Amino acid sequence: MTATAGRFVWHELRTVDIAAAPGFYQQLFGWTTEEYPMGRLIRAGDTVIGGISEVKLGLGGHWTPYVGADDVDAVATAAAAAGGIVTTGRPADVPGAGRIAPILDPDRSIFCSFAPERPAGTAPTGFVWDRLRTPDVAAAAGFYAATVGWHATVAPGRDAAVFDAPDGTRVAEAIAVDAGAPTGWLPFVGVADLDAARATATRLGGTAGEAADIAGVGSYAIVTDPEGATVAAFQPVA
């Protein structure tokens, strides 16, 4: 088993306006971007942490997390058997990147199974956590256990869970949401000043929710960019 199996190895912003989208995040998080064959690479400092690519008009902007896999084809097969959908029909090789399978889980939350040639790096102002918003935490736990091999610890009330990769590394969480509330994967990005990030998002034409505290960990706010893609700005405790 590789060190990246079951861990988040990439995050991709899918946007209908690849020329305009980088500017929002450059000012919000201090990232830089550079062109590459599939779109743009995102850097936090000198570290490549993700990418930006175009999506068809009408699908809307969104962030997609990529989960590392030793065998993408096996993950795709398991996902289909567990009620997911491989949106491209089958996995594919992306030259210079790796083998990939975009998957919709049973709640239609998108993620990619990915065997990268080179996984993204980590940085304090990069992606630090991922949260799945779902109407059925227990069902989601079962799906991701069957597909990417996560071990889930579900809270007694079945309204939350944490996910551990096969090597025991804690990688994500799931929280229950009410019917009609936004679902899907929400990436968390580290910031030094949450209030400043919220103000910047609003100034740039996005929106920022109220700050919420995670006791002993930090505080965060959900930011929506001008196309509707959501990400959480997260300030850790000092």
Q: What pLDDT, on a 0 to 100 scale, did the predictor assign at position 1?
A: 65
| 2 within some domain | no
| 146 within some domain | yes
Q: What is the full DSSP assignment across 53-77?
A: EE--TTS--EEEEEEE-S-HHHHHH
Can you give the residue range of the structural domain that contains 106?
Answer: 8-236
Number of domains, the chain: 1
| 37 within some domain | yes
Phi, psi of 86 (to 5 degrees): -85, 110
| 178 within some domain | yes
Half-sphere exposure for 173 (CA within 13 Å, toward CB): 12
Q: What is the CATH number of the domain that holds 188?
A: 3.10.180.10
| 3 within some domain | no
| 1 within some domain | no
State both tokens at 100: 């990939």
Alpha helices in the chain (DSSP H): 21-29, 72-81, 137-148, 194-203
| 73 within some domain | yes
| 188 within some domain | yes
Q: Using H for helix, E for strand and C for coil, what is the string for 104-144?
A: ECCCCCEEEEEEECCCCCCCCCCEEEEEEEECCHHHHHHHH
Q: What pLDDT, on a 0 to 100 scale, did the predictor assign at position 38?
A: 83
User: Residues of the chain whose pLDDT is less than 50?
Assistant: none
Q: What pLDDT, on a 0 to 100 scale, did the predictor assign at position 119?
A: 84
| Predicted model pTM | 0.94
Do 126 and 190 touch, CB atoms closer than 8 A? yes
